[in-house]
Structure formats: structure tokens, C-alpha cells
Chains A and B, each alone.
Chain A
Amino acid sequence: MTPESVPRDGRDRQPLPLSERLLSGLARWWPYAPALIPVALTLAIVASLVGASALQNFGWGFFSFNVTKYGILIFVVGSFLTSLPALALAMLIGLGIAVASTTFLPGWLSSWLDPFVDLLAGIPSIIYGLWGFLIVAPFFGHDIFPWLAPLLSGIPGFHTAVNSPSKEGTGLALAIVILTLMILPITTLLMRDALRSVPRDLWESGLALGATRLEVASRVAIPYSKRGIWGAAFLGFGRAFGETVAVFMVISQVQRLPTNVYGGTSTMASLIISEINDNLSGTGLHYLAEIALVLLAITLAVNIAGRWMIRRTFTDVAGI
């Protein structure tokens, strides 16, 4: 075969028929298709909620505090009121545990204790709810609130003039406590991994300069892993914000803003699960889909921010 008989470029060749081009494209690209599954599923979830939400039927009038006219802002506020304090508590306790585990405890002890913290992430939320409702709530109502409430009554939000804590113990305060316990493993785990990723030489140079372990932890290790700690905060918040069943079981749900920390209120997620059974079609369903859409928008934003902070998952334990 002489070189001249080989076509130099594609111009003198007949273009392939469309069907063959499609087939060859398919043959080359099919392994890539499954990679799009998470993208497709996320888009499907967003699309179904947008399709069912009330936006098309009722416009933007839903952003009001008036529940009788299907306002949703009460629940948005309720969600923030439960998840932000829970996040603050879980971050403080979690940072303490993470520092203790990476800095102060001997290796064999922390490698024994850490799996227990990881296991907490696996307890189903409905069991937390049942336990919170039947055990923690009466304990708080009978034993904690009666002496704690007078002590704290000077703080705004803790005043007991309008609504003194009931013996039942359920309400915003209990929801915050249960949520704290539920997101504690996530924040702890992520911060522990962030602290563990601090290079050894930084630790050792700090100690070699005469700093104590506490000083190295607080002034070298924590600033170094600032990003990971922020990521833990965002992801913990996302988890607390979307928590449904356990919150519903302990918040003594009413559709209004709480009068104080002992009062009942609703979060977006707890409202959806309590109302879905009675609103399987019609305006009620549009309303719930609207709330779900707002909830989804906020959790997606928070999660994207958190993932961007962490960049890569340090760990895959407990599916976080």
C-alpha cells in the first residue's frame, strides 16, 4: 500500500450517517453516564418540589407570618431557633472532645473511645425522639426546669412570666438539647479529623519552644484547622436544620412562634411530617412542598458552603 492511497484528512471521506455517529458516541461515552446519577437525582428532587410547590399558584405571598393565609416564616424562624443554639452547643462540646482526643488522651484510650462517638451517629432519630419524649422530657420537667428556670429568668427568652415551664418538659429547650446530642458526633468527628491533619512538625516545634499542650492546641492546631472546623459547623448545621422526627416528638408542636425557650413551636421539617398525612393533595400539599423547597434551598446552600470549606472528605466513617 502506497502512502498516497491513504486519505490525508477526512475531507474526501463520506460523512458517517447520523445513526452511526450517535452509536459511536454512545460507545465512547457510556461509562461516563452513571457518574451523573447524583446530579440527576438532586435535580429530580428539586424539580418535583418546584412542580408541586405553591409558587406557581400563589406567587410569593407565602413569605409571611400569617399561618391562616399559608405564611411560612414562622417555621423558618422555628428551624433557626432550634438548630442555631444546638449547633453552638455541639460545636463547643465537640471541639472539647476533639482536642481531648487528639491532644490530651493517650492513644490507646482515644482509640477506644472514638468509635463510641462514631456509633452515636448511627442511632436512628426516631429512637432519640422516643427516648427524649419519654425519659428526658419528664426528667427536665420535674427535676431540671423547676430550679433552673428561676435562676435564668433574667435572660431575655428565658423569662417565665407568660409561660412557665410545664411538667411535661417538652418544648424548644428540649428540642435544642436533643438536637445537640444528635449532631454532636458529626461535629466531633469532622473537627477531630481536621485537628489530626495538623502536621506533626508544627506540634513538635510548638512544644519544643516551651509551649504547653493546651497552648499548642489553641494557638497552633486550631488556627491551622480553621477551615475544617468551619466545615464541621456548616455540615452540623445542615444536619440539625433538616432533622425531622426527633424534633417533632419533643418540641410540643404548635404553629406559632415560641413565647420563651420553654414554649412549643414548629420547624419546617417537623411541620411537613406532622401535616403530610392530612394533606395528600390540593392546597395543603402545595403548601408543604413550598416549605420543603425553602428547607431544601437553605440546606443545599449550607451544605455547599460546608463542603467547599472542607474541600475533600477526610473521613467516611458513619457516612458523613
Chain B
Amino acid sequence: MTPSLATPLEAIDDLRRDRTGHVWRRTALDRCVGWVLPLLFLVAIAPIADLVYWVGKQALPTFTWSVLTTNPSGAGGGLFAPLAGSLAILALATGVSVAFGFLGGLATAEYLSERAAGVVRIAANVMVGIPAIIVGLFGFLAFVRYFGWGSSLEAAAVTLGIFMTPYVYRATDLAYSSVPSHLREAAVGSGARPLQYLLRVATPIAFPQVLTGVFLAMAIGVGETAPIYPIIPSLVALPPLGLSQPVGALPLYIWEGFENGLILPTAIHRAFQAAFLLLVIVIGLNVLVRVIAARSRRRLEGLFQ
């Protein structure tokens, strides 16, 4: 970003010209705003505190091990199958997104010229903005219908993997391009081959950042309903048995609770527990990301100056 220097300097000049005097009034306004504006944090944080508290309050009193170990039956039962299904979809989708995103990001950061990288980065950034439901519709059209995989674990996993790919891609790209260039010069100067530089200099520095990107993509992917709903529209009460079998997933059970909850109280009960499990997974992954980021920042202190 290259803003013209004229604007802020003119603004400062402007301040000097017409804001002199009225000192008491201006200071008082500044103090008031300084107390009022931080209250806006409450607008952002209070609803979420309420959400987490409410989900916990609904789910925890009846949360037992049987929720995790039994399959859903009818409108009740446990959540073993959807939890296993969600984790299976997430594991495969992470594999797909790392295969696509890591290689793509690495190639962009290490091999492409600045101009070409700029173009590909725009594509990745734009892909982040594609609505999840459109990726879901694409997965349905391409994998379920065109390739004929049917309503299956593999179709859901690949679709979710494609949804997660740009996040991994951008994290990898950013991680490898932010390795300081003097390290490359030092490595090449002391006789390292390009592959040696990549594996033994760049990767140890970039890896924690790639890892945080992958975990963030997982946190985003595991809770998404829209990419998998068009592929697995009906509720599945069995754990995943094979790649071509349909699976259940936690978000789909929350959806079910919303659709039938007013008629079947047990369905909404189950939806709360699914929501609670999802929240635990998502918040856990986010905390993990912060821990890794903080640790690697401490380890690499002094490298980026």
C-alpha cells in the first residue's frame, strides 16, 4: 500500500489551522470517547459469551460418556457416528487440502516470479471468498453426479478439502515467502543446493506457520455445513464404514435439531450436544494455533528484524 504522503500531512496541517483553542472541550470529548468506544468490545464479545454459555448450559447437564459411545437412534441416542464421521471427513479433507495447498503455496513462494505469484495469489484470495454453499453445489455437481461417487464419504471429504485448500495455500505461501532473504543468500553462499536450502533452512523456519494455517483450516472446515449438506442430504446413523459409504456429520445433526426440534424435543437435545462438541473442537484448535504461534515466535525471536 502506497498512500500519498500529502494526505496525512495536509490533515495535520488542517488540525493546526482550525483546531486551536477550545482546549477544555476537545480534551473532554477525547476523554469521553476514550471511555465509550472500548464498550463496543462488549457488543462483539457479549453475544458470543452468551452463545457459549447457553450451549454449555443446554448440553453439559446431560452430557455423559454414552453420548460419545452410542450411535443415534431415531430422534435420540448418542453422537458416536456423526463424531466419527466428522473426524473422518476432516482427516481426509485435511489430507486433500494439504496436498493441494501446501504444494501450491510452496511453488508460489519458492519458484514463481513476483508477477506470476501476484496473479496466483489473487486467485487464492478470491477462492477464500467463494461462499461455502457454492463449493458444496460444485461438489455435488462434480463428484456426486459427474464422477458418480454418490452420496459418500469420499465426495464429502474432497469437497471439504477443496473448500479448505486456499487457507492452507495462503498460510504456506506466506510462511515460505517471509523467510528472510539473507538466510537464502547465506545458504547459497555456503554452498547449499536449492533442495538443501528448502529442506534444512526454509522449512524449519516456515513449518510452525504452515501448521497454524492447517489447524485454522481444520477449525473452519469442521464446522461448515454448507459444503457437505448438498452431498449428504439425509441423516446417517452409522459410523463411516468405507470411502464410498455415506457418513453422518455433527453439523448435519445440528441442522436436524433445527428442522425437527420443535416437534421432537430429543432431536434438539442431541443438536445441543453436537453443537457443544463442535465448539470444543473449534475452540481447541484455535487455542492450539495460538500456542504454536507463540512458541515459534519465541523460538525465532531475533530472526525477523
Complex partner residue of B134 from A117, A206, A296, A320, CB under 8 angstroms: A296
CB under 8 Å from chain A, chain B span 81-116: 100-101, 103-104, 106-108, 110-112, 116
B38 at the interface (CB under 8 A from A): yes
Complex partner residue of B103 from A34, A126, A239, A245, CB under 8 angstroms: A34
Contacts of A73 in B (CB 8 A): none
CB distance from A189 to the nearest CB of B (A): 11
Q: Is the CB of A123 within 8 A of B131?
A: no
| Stretch of A13-21, A64-72, A143-151, A218-226 at the chain-chain interface | A218-226
A307, B26: Cα distance in complex, Å: 37
Q: How many A-B residue pairs have CB under 8 A?
A: 303
**Count of chain A residues near B, Cβ 8 A:** 105
B8 at the interface (CB under 8 A from A): yes
A260 at the interface (CB under 8 A from B): no
| Stretch of A1-9, A54-62, A153-161, A311-319 at the chain-chain interface | A311-319
Contacts of A198 in B (CB 8 A): 8
**Can you offer 15 A-B residue contacts whose CB atoms are under 8 A?**
A49-B138, A49-B141, A123-B282, A135-B54, A185-B44, A220-B12, A242-B133, A245-B225, A245-B251, A273-B229, A276-B229, A300-B126, A316-B171, A316-B213, A319-B217
Q: Is the CB of A104 within 8 A of B34?
A: yes
A23 at the interface (CB under 8 A from B): no
Q: Which of B112, B141, B254 has its CB near the most chain A CB atoms (within 10 A)?
A: B141
A249, B254: Cα distance in complex, Å: 11
A86 at the interface (CB under 8 A from B): no
Q: Is the CB of A48 within 8 A of B142?
A: yes
Across the interface, name the chain B residue whose C-beta is closest to A243. B131
Q: Is the CB of A93 within 8 A of B43?
A: yes
Q: Is the CB of A126 within 8 A of B107?
A: no
Contacts of A52 in B (CB 8 A): 141
Q: Is the CB of B126 within 8 A of A303?
A: yes
| Stretch of B14-22, B180-188, B200-208, B297-305 at the chain-chain interface | B14-22
Q: Is the CB of A224 within 8 A of B3?
A: yes
A249, B127: Cα distance in complex, Å: 25
Q: Is the CB of B12 within 8 A of A205?
A: yes
Q: Is the CB of A269 within 8 A of B20?
A: no
Across the interface, name the chain A residue whose C-beta is closest to B50. A135
Complex partner residue of B111 from A31, A116, A226, CB under 8 angstroms: A31
A195 at the interface (CB under 8 A from B): no
A204, B168: Cα distance in complex, Å: 38
Question: DSSP majority for the B interface?
Answer: helix
Q: Is the CB of B122 within 8 A of A133?
A: no
Q: Is the CB of A318 within 8 A of B258?
A: no
A125 at the interface (CB under 8 A from B): yes
Q: Chain B, 206-248, contact with A by CB distance < 8 Å: what is the 0/1 string?
A: 0000000100110110111110011001000000000000000
A228 at the interface (CB under 8 A from B): yes
Given contacts A214-B34, A242-B130, contact A127 B48 (CB under 8 A): no
A295, B286: Cα distance in complex, Å: 30
Q: Is the CB of A116 within 8 A of B43?
A: no
A45 at the interface (CB under 8 A from B): yes
CB distance from A176 to the nearest CB of B (A): 14
Query: 6 tightest A-B contacts by CB?
Result: A124-B223, A242-B131, A303-B129, A212-B30, A34-B103, A100-B37
Q: Which of B33, B108, B213 has its CB near the most chain A CB atoms (within 10 A)?
A: B33
Q: Is the CB of B131 within 8 A of A295?
A: yes
A96, B174: Cα distance in complex, Å: 29
Complex partner residue of A130 from B37, B47, B142, B275, CB under 8 angstroms: B275
A34, B135: Cα distance in complex, Å: 20
A202 at the interface (CB under 8 A from B): yes
A45, B40: Cα distance in complex, Å: 39
Across the interface, name the chain A residue whose C-beta is closest to B168. A319
Across the interface, name the chain B residue whose C-beta is closest to A43. B123
Given contacts A245-B225, A292-B134, contact A313 B170 (CB under 8 A): yes
B64 at the interface (CB under 8 A from A): no
Complex partner residue of A133 from B14, B54, B133, B258, CB under 8 angstroms: B258
